[in-house]
């Protein structure tokens, strides 16, 4: 039972509801076997879970889970086909019940008791002590309900949440359950409304910036009272830099607008993401009753049809990736460190922008983008009124679209990282003449809710979207997979600002190389259900990364691109829609574990300012494969020389006029002989600048563990991602070893997930053992709250030397 304390009488109390939830689920077919909202209920057979919670991620994987039978017009599939694994082949479908017992102290009488959900997947209904307090269908938007009237003060209360996850409701793995944070917020009846502040900056110069703060104070005092709002702005060092006070007589609701000046503003940028904070204090008849904090940034964004995007006046190409919300083996449940790791890996690659495809993310992800200096497109929908899947958002669109769109914008509008609002992705309305009306309707809502950022959408059927007026009805049309059309669109619409909202969709499996290494678009299914890491394969609508690089480089008016996708995600196995056991995507620049595929270095060589030199494939070919192997180098240098066992195979230079030679160096037919492939990069003076080697590995000898961080916080939340490699006696990775590895752990921590990045693996992510894939796998370790010391992780594989790593707790 959760006992609530009453530490503060006046300010608000925010109590995260994480531990101690009881959970059970049943199929949709069973008629109400559980009446989970009832106050008195035998919960003895229920599981104890911690929230955020994704009930489906532990599996088991099964081809019968959420099978879809439909066409995919977007992908040129006009007949109904059976999609296996489209949403990950995990048990997402069903009814889930969550219950939490809470003691609400008598001292809270007279205060407002509310519950805030960052997101529940999906169709949730919330009950307090048996009474329904509200429902919220869309799984990706945040909502809050008032529980006050149904609460028992000075006693036990039961908060119950029913979740109804329907079949065929998504094109990817949505997760299932209360997968984001929940909190109880106890506050004065007169308070800053949820997401009730809206802060904008204008007239920004080196000397000063004008800050407008709008604050929505909700009130329910019986008679008109004097409400005073004090807004204090703290600079990035936490020092008070501006203050305003306003007074109004209110009894129900008051809108305040305050204008403040910040001297010598420290701008938010990608290199220096400086954040200010507004502290709003509400006083009722002179007594402080509420306090609310809003982080924000001061920065300018501008978009130009000829000159592209500028941040704080400086030209910047958007080098972006699209991300779905799942965190690979951790599923959809929010894990802040896992999100941070993903963003760190993307930044390291030179990425500066994220498209939240195709739905609003967890608020923590936006906080991280603010803190790390990543630009964001926040996207609302993947469907409007015409569906792509049977139970998709189209069923909600008419009744909920405005509410969901406004919920996204009012929650997210103070994040400096957000540069555009996207009202949708590849909506089927592109083909309809009436599509422009819907586009104008949604664009109008966004302009009303936040006129400081442009509205965009991702168009795939670009000719239709132009002809039917959708493209003209947004501020900035985004093109999905159209690098070959950019020039034409620019010529016909010279005043349109444009970018690649979705690009490449190249597919690959980490460490897998199919021969011959030739362009494979549209990609042909292979017998191993994998995709080649020569990075030449894509579905019919996709391209190689190179083709998009070339367009973006040659056309300065293009704002940039958003690659589909930064990471592999659960579901949408393409091209293996029908083939079991494919159950996750092959589109990622990183695999599902977050281990880099070769493509990572291709993007890094093009996007970052780091020196990059990377060779592919591995050099462990055998038997019948011993023939001529194409060797490719991804590098930031213009020229490099390849050596096999000391003998030169010649120098290759990038060629500005053709691709892929413009971005890759390639030795087409290297006669295979075991040993050492060495590449030497030359700088502009033809001097050797950097070398890199790939060696033939001997027999597997040991298991090697490498933690991304060997020191983590002892807070029960922090994670260490430990990469497991099978290596030979000299420590060289055995790139084809698919060895079973089992794990055990000593000390105050736990193994939360394992994975190997193989899109066809059916091993549960909750197992204590997994096979390596292309020589590697991953184990994720979490600390236990409040326990000092260190965690030791052991990894065993048959007769190999055991691997071990130590993770200290702070």
Residues annotated as catalytic are: 426, 502
What is the β-pairing status of strands 639-644 and 628-635?
A: unpaired
Please report where in the chains the tokens 């299932």 appear, as a residue. Answer: 176
CB of 575 to ligand GAL, least distance (A): 10
Please report where in the chains the tokens 């992705």 appear, as a residue. Answer: 425
Half-sphere exposure of 633 (CA within 13 A, CB side): 30
Q: Rounded to an integer, what distance in angstroms lies between the CA atom of residue 747 and that of residue 791? A: 5
Q: Point out which residues bind ligand GAL (CB under 6 A).
A: 74, 425-426, 460, 480, 502, 505, 539, 542, 564, 572
CB of 616 to ligand GAL, least distance (A): 23
Pick the closer one to ligand GAL by CB: 565 or 761: 565
Q: Rounded to an integer, what distance in angstroms lies between the CA atom of residue 419 and that of residue 301? A: 7
What is the β-pairing status of strands 375-379 and 418-425?
A: parallel
Task: Name the 3-class secondary structure at 675.
Answer: coil
Q: Evaluate whether 770 touches 759 at the Cβ level (below 8 Å).
A: no
Q: Rounded to an integer, what distance in angstroms lies between the CA atom of residue 67 and that of residue 73? A: 18
Cα 179 to its chain centre, rounded Å, is 14
Task: Name the 3-class secondary structure at 770.
Answer: strand
Q: Rounded to an integer, what distance in angstroms lies between the CA atom of residue 718 and that of residue 21? A: 21
Task: Name the 3-class secondary structure at 368.
Answer: helix
CB of 565 to ligand GAL, least distance (A): 8
- CB neighbour list of residue 707: distance below 8 Å, 6 or more residues apart: 720, 721, 722, 723, 781, 793, 805, 807
CB of 764 to ligand GAL, least distance (A): 26
Please report where in the chains the tokens 């959809």 appear, as a residue. Answer: 332
Cα 100 to its chain centre, rounded Å, is 28
User: b/e map of 82-91 (b: 16 or more CB within 10 Å)?
Assistant: ebbbbbbbbb
**CA proximity to 254, closest of 294, 296, 279, 290:** 290
Task: Name the 3-class secondary structure at 608.
Answer: coil
Pick the closer one to ligand GAL by CB: 54 or 426: 426
Structure tokens at 222: 């019986």
- CB neighbour list of residue 336: distance below 8 Å, 6 or more residues apart: 364, 368, 717
Pick the closer one to ligand GAL by CB: 412 or 502: 502
Q: Rounded to an integer, what distance in angstroms lies between the CA atom of residue 349 and that of residue 319? A: 10
Pick the closer one to ligand GAL by CB: 92 or 427: 427
Tell me the angle at which helices 363-372 and 394-412 cross, rounded to the nearest 10 degrees.
40
Pick the closer one to ligand GAL by CB: 502 or 718: 502
Q: Rounded to an integer, what distance in angstroms lies between the CA atom of residue 332 and that of residue 328? A: 8
**CA proximity to 790, closest of 702, 703, 707:** 707
Burial of residue 593 (number of CB atoms within 10 Å: 0-12, 13-18, 19+): buried
Pick the closer one to ligand GAL by CB: 72 or 712: 72
404 φ/ψ angles, rounded to the nearest 5 degrees: -70, -40
Pick the closer one to ligand GAL by CB: 118 or 568: 568
Virtual CA dihedral for 731, 734, 735, 741, nearest 10 degrees?
A: -100
Pick the closer one to ligand GAL by CB: 3 or 77: 77
600 φ/ψ angles, rounded to the nearest 5 degrees: -55, -45
Q: Please give the angle made by the CA atoms of 692, 697 and 703, to the nearest 5 degrees.
A: 105
Pick the closer one to ligand GAL by CB: 334 or 521: 521
Pick the closer one to ligand GAL by CB: 426 or 561: 426
Cα 346 to its chain centre, rounded Å, is 11
Pick the closer one to ligand GAL by CB: 502 or 758: 502
Closest residue to ligand GAL using C-beta atoms: 505
DSSP 489: H
Compute the 3-state secondary structure of the chain and give helix, strand, coil in percent, each to the nearest 5.
Answer: 15, 40, 45
């Amino acid at each position: 039972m959760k006992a609530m304390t009453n530490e503060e009488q006046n300010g608000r109390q925010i109590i995260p509801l994480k531990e101690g939830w009881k959970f059970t689920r049943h199929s949709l077919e069973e008629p109400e076997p559980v009446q989970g909202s009832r106050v008195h209920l035998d919960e003895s057979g229920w599981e104890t879970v911690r929230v955020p919670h994704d009930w489906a991620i532990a599996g088991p994987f099964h081809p019968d889970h959420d099978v879809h039978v439909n066409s995919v017009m977007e992908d040129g599939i006009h007949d109904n086909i059976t999609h296996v694994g489209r949403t990950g082949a995990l048990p997402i479908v069903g009814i889930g019940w969550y219950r939490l017992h809470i003691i609400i102290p008598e001292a809270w009488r007279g205060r407002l008791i509310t519950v805030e959900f960052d997101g529940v997947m999906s169709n949730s209904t919330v009950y307090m002590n048996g009474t329904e307090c509200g429902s919220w269908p869309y799984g990706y938007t945040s909502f809050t309900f008032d529980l006050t009237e149904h609460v028992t003060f000075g006693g036990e209360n039961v908060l119950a949440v029913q979740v109804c996850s329907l079949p065929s409701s998504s094109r990817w793995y949505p997760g299932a359950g209360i997968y984001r944070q929940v909190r109880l917020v106890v506050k004065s009846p007169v308070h800053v409304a949820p997401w009730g502040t809206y802060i904008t900056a204008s007239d920004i110069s080196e000397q000063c910036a004008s800050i407008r703060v709008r604050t929505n104070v909700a009130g329910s005092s019986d008679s008109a009272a004097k409400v005073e709002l004090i807004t204090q702005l703290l600079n990035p060092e936490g020092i008070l830099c501006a203050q305003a006070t306003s007074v109004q007589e209110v009894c129900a609701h008051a809108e305040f607008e305050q204008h403040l000046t910040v001297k010598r503003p420290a701008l938010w940028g990608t290199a220096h993401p400086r954040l200010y904070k507004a502290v709003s204090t509400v006083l009722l008849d002179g007594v402080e009753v509420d306090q609310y904090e809003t982080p924000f940034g001061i920065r300018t964004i501008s978009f130009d049809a000829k000159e592209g995007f500028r941040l704080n006046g400086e030209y910047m190409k958007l080098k972006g990736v699209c991300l779905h919300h799942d965190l690979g083996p951790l599923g959809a449940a929010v894990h802040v460190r896992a999100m941070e790791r993903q963003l760190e890996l993307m930044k390291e690659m030179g990425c500066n922008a994220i498209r939240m495809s195709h739905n609003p993310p967890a608020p923590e992800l936006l906080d991280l983008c603010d803190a790390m200096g990543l630009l964001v497109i926040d996207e609302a929908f993947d469907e409007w009124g015409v569906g792509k899947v049977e139970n998709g958002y189209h069923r909600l669109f008419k009744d909920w679209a405005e509410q969901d769109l406004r919920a996204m914008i009012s929650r997210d509008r103070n994040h400096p990282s957000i540069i555009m609002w996207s009202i949708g992705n590849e909506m089927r309305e592109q083909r309809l003449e009436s599509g422009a009306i819907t586009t104008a309707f949604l664009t109008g809502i966004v302009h009303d809710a936040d006129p400081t950022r442009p509205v965009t959408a991702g168009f795939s059927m670009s000719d239709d979207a132009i002809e039917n007026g959708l493209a003209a009805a947004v501020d900035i049309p985004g093109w999905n997979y159209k690098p070959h059309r950019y020039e034409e669109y620019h010529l016909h619409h010279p005043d349109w600002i444009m970018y690649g909202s979705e690009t490449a969709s190249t597919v690959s499996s980490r460490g897998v190389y199919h021969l011959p290494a030739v362009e494979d678009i549209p990609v042909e299914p292979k017998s191993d259900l994998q995709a080649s890491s020569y990075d030449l394969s894509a579905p019919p609508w996709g391209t190689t990364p190179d083709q998009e690089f070339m367009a973006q480089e040659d056309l300065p008016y293009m704002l940039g691109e958003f690659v589909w996708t930064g990471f592999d995600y659960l579901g949408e196995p393409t091209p293996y829609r029908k083939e079991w056991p494919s159950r996750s995507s092959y589109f990622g620049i990183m695999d599902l574990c977050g281990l880099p595929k070769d493509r990572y270095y291709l993007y890094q060589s093009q996007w970052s300012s780091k020196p990059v030199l990377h060779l592919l494939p591995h050099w462990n070919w055998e038997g019948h494969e011993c023939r001529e192997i194409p060797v490719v180098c991804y590098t930031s240098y213009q020229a490099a020389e390849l050596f096999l066992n000391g003998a030169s195979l010649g120098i290759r230079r990038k060629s500005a006029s053709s691709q892929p030679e413009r971005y890759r160096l390639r030795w087409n037919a290297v006669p295979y002989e075991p040993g050492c492939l060495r590449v030497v990069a030359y700088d502009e003076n033809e001097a050797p600048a950097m070398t890199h080697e790939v060696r033939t590995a001997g027999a597997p000898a040991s298991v090697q563990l490498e933690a991304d961080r060997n020191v983590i916080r002892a807070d029960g939340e922090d994670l260490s991602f430990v990469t497991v490699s099978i290596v030979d006696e000299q420590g060289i990775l055995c790139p084809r070893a698919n060895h079973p590895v089992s794990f055990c752990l000593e000390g105050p921590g736990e193994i939360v997930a394992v994975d190997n990045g193989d899109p066809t693996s059916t091993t549960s992510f909750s197992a204590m053992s997994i096979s390596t894939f292309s020589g590697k796998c991953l184990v994720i370790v979490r600390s236990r709250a409040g326990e000092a010391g260190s965690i030791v992780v052991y990894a065993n594989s048959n007769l190999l030397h055991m691997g071990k790593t130590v993770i200290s707790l702070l």
